[in-house]
Amino acid sequence: MMKTQIHSFLSIALLIGTLVVAPLPVSMPVYAQTDTIAQAISTYKKSNQRWIEVDLARQRVYAWEGKKQVYAVIVSTGKPSTPTVKGVFKIQSQHRFARMQGEDYDTPDVPYTMYYYRGYAIHGAYWHHNFGTPVSHGCVNVAVDHARWLFYWAEVGTPVIVH
């Protein structure tokens, strides 16, 4: 009897451990869920906080101070094969110039770079003028003069909402 109870206990513990450890079967990260993004936008609009909105459908970046839009610019986000990650983030670091490298690119002196998630950033793009069309490797490309404005307006910790 005792052996059966221990076996049952271990089976249940293993099952619970599997449920806790196994990743959730969602198609996109939790931070990219539509309600999370909508809730964040609503929260920031009720504050006086500066925040950045990246609208992938419209290929636009908006700078906000609470519910007041203070800047808008056309951008180029990730192409279908290298999409821009959606979600609610914060600027992690700012660099006046950065070198960006990938399997098929090596771009020196990328101006006004603001990393917000891993290798994803909002930055100036001097190598193309295809703004309004998704052509990047996942970053948010902005014309250099507009990237400069955003860079000096924002700071590390400024929220970035990508949808």
Contacts of 93 (CB under 8 A, 6+ apart): 114, 115, 156
Q: What is the pLDDT of residue 33?
A: 78
- Whether the predicted model's global pTM rises above the 0.85 cut: no
> What is the total count of domains within the chain?
1
Q: For 107-153, what is each residue's pLDDT tens digit? A: 999 999 999 999 999 999 999 999 999 999 999 999 999 999 999 99
Q: How confident is the model over 46-57, as pLDDT tens digits? A: 999 999 999 999
Of 13-17, 106-110, 137-141, 159-163, the poorest mean pLDDT is in 13-17
In a domain, 7, yes or no: no
Task: Give me the mean pLDDT over the 65-83 stretch.
Answer: 98
Asked whether residue 40 carries a pLDDT value surpassing 50, the answer given is yes
- Position 23 in a domain: no
Q: Is there a contact between 135 and 112 (Cβ–Cβ < 8 Å)? A: no
Which residues form the domain of 104? 29-162
Q: Examine residue 82 and state whether it is found in any structural domain, yes or no.
A: yes
Strands (E), 76-157: 87-90, 93-102, 105-117, 120-124, 140-142
Residue percentage of the chain with pLDDT more than 90: 78
Specify the CATH number for the domain of residue 148.
Answer: 2.40.440.10
What amino acid positions are annotated as catalytic residues?
Answer: 123, 139
